[in-house]
A and B are shown apart, each in its own frame.
Chain A
């Protein structure tokens, strides 16, 4: 039972840690499927994390915070679109610039507004996303009723009930949003006209243009969707996973999401599994420092590096080749 309890707790933590990765990964999916490379996911998440926490702290409403986070992320998306669609600049350089812009501006504004060394005040109550309790699941309410800690109640119940309470129930609403986005993204991309056009514009924009559909419009739409999802991801980090913004709080998650996207070969369902895998690695690294496998000790740094190593292996094409959308990274020039 002890082992099972640990397992369930690690999986629970996996879901929490996979959520921001999944949102950012799907964000990148829309953008890159439309032919706009986006290595600025990290920056957009960071900006959203700051503004959601800042607005939630000032207004006391986490929903206003979420909106502010999405808006901030959309501003950076617009900048990326402006540079890479309108002015046909280098999308990768634009992404690099956006990451630095976010990294600098968040601390600058945080210091100017809150004077707490580049962080926002801690969020509490209405300023944070609360976890949703499913019926019959063990949660804080049961703990209050019986006067005993949740962990004790958890360890006494049966396996199914435990898994239900820890894994399915008790997450913030954004977690469910993230996982519902997976089938929705699949449906949009592969079952709607918009999705078909979006994928076409990433493979062969000239054909889309010939069909009389606006390449620029479609790409801006994709970049905007990417901004919204990155915004939710950032808001989740600052207002649900943690209680407030701290400097550089994304900690490379945008790049892990990018790695997951390649790992998933730009497909929504695979993206979910890739994010869960990378989330699991993070959860394991968080819980156990160095893992002892009967004499062979795996240092924690291996866990940290594993997502990147796996991605390089996938990119190298040794385990199935990852082929990006064909027109990715290429600005579209209508007339030559």
Chain B
């Protein structure tokens, strides 16, 4: 018999954890002498009160969907991929090379090529830690952390010494040609008399992200490979007994994870910046951890959590603009979400399980 109904595990625990994180964040805001209710008001109007705000919220959410899915897929195989940041950086490199080296006739073809390149680069960056975990037993968490730093140094080198245009001081690539610019929400949804999403960076990648959610869902719950990944994540010995190769699953799960993290680059590099700059990922790879934990590693949950974090990001930027609360408040909220939904999961779960057991006894 299960200790509590499934809906409680999937819905109630994340909501309670989120509530705890919210209460603590409110206390933090109070402690630095600001009004939490006023802050929430500002965040809601700033992030959701206009199509411009939504344009930013969905732009950030797109990044987080990709990195959240990346962490989620790895979680299903019980692998903790902290390397999303580095994999997304490398994805950016792939996108930049594709966009700058081929004279693309139309953005559609360029987008397909950029998707492929970013996924290959991201997967390649995840491949080495995956191989080392599978074959040599080196801990994937440590190797992926190390690979984040190596990626940062590598990208720094590429931008400063190799890809920087002649005469430019800025450690960044040249601007991508006009033909590979992705359609933004502004150009997609505006009518002649009514301009929507003016100047906001949300672009067609958002729909690629939604597509990715469906693909990941189908992969994990509707394919043999997905079954094997989940079986391996559930019990390694059980999976081995069923003839599933741990090496194969570890490597494949990490390759998919790295590819998803790399795919983020079509949004931030190709869709927004339209060139590759230093620190283009802005920590989105790490937010993927919070998003995957919050979304219980389910694509739909990841989608919702990514929208929530998109809102927090845009709302946080607005807060920093209008009040003296710095943007780092979002980092604190992110930390609290990771803490409550990840590390302190049992703190919420154990009392709740006891409660459900007591209720069940009462009704029986």
Contact = CB atoms under 8 A, between A and B. Distances in A.
B143 to A, nearest CB: 6
A233 to B, nearest CB: 18
Nearest to A255: B145
B342 A94 contact: yes
B339 A299 contact: no
A93 B145 CA distance: 13
A259 B329 contact: no
Contact of B32 (A97, A108, A299, A308): A108
A84 B343 contact: yes
A154 interface: no
Contacts of B146: 255, 259, 308-309, 311-312, 315
Given A97-B339, A101-B335, A101-B339, A315 B157 contact: no
Interface in A2-47: 39
Contacts of A99: 335
B278 to A, nearest CB: 12
A311 B142 contact: yes
B138 interface: yes
A94 B343 contact: yes
A168 interface: no
A112 B335 contact: no
A266 to B, nearest CB: 13
B251 to A, nearest CB: 15
B328 A104 contact: yes
B153 A305 contact: yes
A259 B28 CA distance: 33
State which size class the interface on B falls in.
35 or more
Contacts, number: 155
B338 interface: yes
A315 B145 contact: no
Contacts of B128: 312
Nearest to A102: B335
Interface string B136-160: 1111011101110110011011001
B354 to A, nearest CB: 14
B217 interface: no
Interface in B141-193: 141-143, 145-147, 149-150, 153-154, 156-157, 160-161
Nearest to A100: B335
Interface residues of A, number: 48
Contact of A96 (B156, B324, B338): B338
B142 A104 contact: no
A305 B154 contact: yes
Contact of B153 (A82, A96, A302, A311): A302
B132 A315 contact: yes
A108 B31 CA distance: 10
Contact of B157 (A83, A96, A301): A301
B345 interface: yes
Contacts of B245: none
B326 interface: yes
Contact of B338 (A97, A118, A252, A311): A97
Contacts of B136: 315-317
Contact of B332 (A94, A104, A252): A104
B159 to A, nearest CB: 10
B149 A299 contact: no
B336 interface: yes
B110 interface: no
Given A103-B335, A322-B138, 18 more contacts: A87-B343, A87-B350, A94-B339, A94-B343, A97-B338, A97-B343, A100-B338, A101-B339, A103-B328, A104-B331, A105-B328, A111-B324, A111-B326, A112-B33, A258-B145, A309-B146, A312-B138, A315-B142
Interface of B: 28, 31-33, 80, 82, 128, 132, 136-139, 141-143, 145-147, 149-150, 153-154, 156-157, 160-161, 286, 289, 293, 324-326, 328-336, 338-339, 342-347, 350
10 contacts: A87-B347, A89-B344, A89-B346, A93-B342, A94-B343, A100-B334, A104-B334, A108-B325, A258-B142, A302-B153
* Closest A-B pairs by Cβ, 10 of them: A104-B331, A94-B343, A100-B335, A104-B332, A315-B138, A305-B153, A93-B342, A112-B32, A101-B335, A89-B343
